[in-house]
Amino acid sequence: MIPPAWSVSISPHLKSTESVEKIMWTVVACLIPSLILSVFVFGLRALIIAAISTASCVAVEAATQKLLKRPVTVRDGSAVITGLLLAFCIPPGVPLWMPIPGAIMAIYVAKHLLGGIGFNIFNPALIGRAFLVATFPVAMTSAWLAPIHDAAVFGSLGGIDAVSTATPLYVLKHYGMNAVIERFGAPSTLYWDFFVGWRPGCIGETSALLLTLGGLYLMLRRYISWHIPVATVLSVGFFSWVFGGEKLFTGDPVLAVLSGGVILGAFFMATDYVTSPNGNAAKLVFGAGVGALTVLIRLKGGYPEGVCYAILLMNPLSPALEGWFKPKRFAPPKGATT
């Protein structure tokens, strides 16, 4: 018999047009506006660091997959996301080689040694950042640049015109709210600057506005659901309001949410498919946990910022959360265990 010209395969014969690549590259696209803004705020240096970070994540992924004799999947965009997110959570004033060890840690150790995409327990970008903070604490917690207020953005490679400064969270932690206002302006301008992104901070975490827009677009495409971001933001706000002030219920929830990496973490890191739970109830608990731990670390821990560690602490709980909030079966046999 002549072999058939058409293929035989298992049902269903229709598939949705979604794909892993499409999802990943859309996430990348949603991160780009924040990166562009960052270049305006901190100078070209932000772009160079992001490029080095992304390139090294992609290179490490390709090399690792070759080494482990797995198919090379750098085109799916997931290493690009890790690279961007890693750059997004490091200060713009660090030495230019700094992302490289972070990328090795993120992709080689946190992603591939733990089984590759789908099997890693911790968010790779955050592991990369945590590693850098532990290894190069000075650079990672003090290489902040003040926003560039004049036109010299593209004239400098950063560092020349830019001034080393402190982040609002650092000032808040060590000198209190009054010092923040003194240094960054009256609450109204303060909130506005933070909201649009005109303030010192990590490369990608400055603009709540652009990050939220990106996150909303991902929701519109149904790539992420609202549960984790909303639960995270509300939880940070709530606990900061209750415990963040001198007395109970006097903290500033708006500042708490707009500063540091809360918005970036809530929309783009806590929602990472692989390391967050499925199921809406589990997601709400996960987000609330991220928020609570963020505030705890900010107030009681050694670092002014806590989102990164909060997410890393919640990551390994995902399977348990999923187990506790299993979907309800339609009509299981009597006495079924789940």
The number of beta carbons lying within 10 Å of the beta carbon of residue 149 is 9
By CB under 8 A, residue 220 contacts other proteins: no
Segment contacting other proteins by CB under 8 A, of 12-20, 56-64, 102-110, 204-212: 12-20
d(CA 57, CA 100) in angstroms, rounded, equals 8
From the centroid of its chain, how far is CA 91?
14
By CB under 8 A, residue 247 contacts other proteins: no
Task: Identify which of residues 223 and 241 has a Cβ nearer to other proteins in the complex.
Answer: 223
By CB under 8 A, residue 118 contacts other proteins: yes
Residues in region 316-335 near other proteins by CB under 8 A: 326-334
Q: Which amino acid is at 206?
A: T
For residue 252 the two structure tokens come to 């500033």
Segment contacting other proteins by CB under 8 A, of 14-22, 59-67, 135-143, 295-303: 14-22
By CB under 8 A, residue 226 contacts other proteins: no
How far the first Cα of the chain sits from its last, in Å, is 49
Contacts of 304 (CB under 8 A, 6+ apart): 167, 169, 170, 172, 173, 174, 260, 298
164 three-state secondary structure: strand
Among 26, 73, 141, 142, binds other proteins (CB under 8 A): 73
Residues in region 255-274 near other proteins by CB under 8 A: 273-274
Task: Identify which of residues 14 and 220 has a Cβ nearer to other proteins in the complex.
Answer: 14
Residues in region 26-65 near other proteins by CB under 8 A: none
Task: Identify which of residues 117 and 293 has a Cβ nearer to other proteins in the complex.
Answer: 117
Task: Identify which of residues 84 and 140 has a Cβ nearer to other proteins in the complex.
Answer: 84
Contacts of 118 (CB under 8 A, 6+ apart): 274
Question: Computed from CA positions of residues 224, 230, 231, 232, in that sequence, does the dihedral angle turn out positive or negative?
Answer: positive
Residue 320 CB-half CA count within 13 A: 7
Task: Identify which of residues 13 and 300 has a Cβ nearer to other proteins in the complex.
Answer: 13
DSSP β-bridge partners for residue 145: 164
Radius of gyration of the chain (CA): 21
By CB under 8 A, residue 14 contacts other proteins: yes
By CB under 8 A, residue 174 contacts other proteins: no
Burial class (CB in 10 A: 0-12, 13-18, 19+), 210: buried
Tell the smallest beta-carbon distance from residue 11 to other proteins (Å): 5
For residue 286 the two structure tokens come to 């996960």
d(CA 306, CA 298) in angstroms, rounded, equals 5
Among 92, 93, 116, 168, binds other proteins (CB under 8 A): 116
By CB under 8 A, residue 12 contacts other proteins: yes
By CB under 8 A, residue 137 contacts other proteins: no
By CB under 8 A, residue 75 contacts other proteins: no
Tell the smallest beta-carbon distance from residue 70 to other proteins (Å): 10
By CB under 8 A, residue 188 contacts other proteins: no
Residues that bind other proteins (CB under 8 A): 1, 4-20, 22-23, 73, 76, 116-119, 273-274, 278-279, 326-334, 336-338
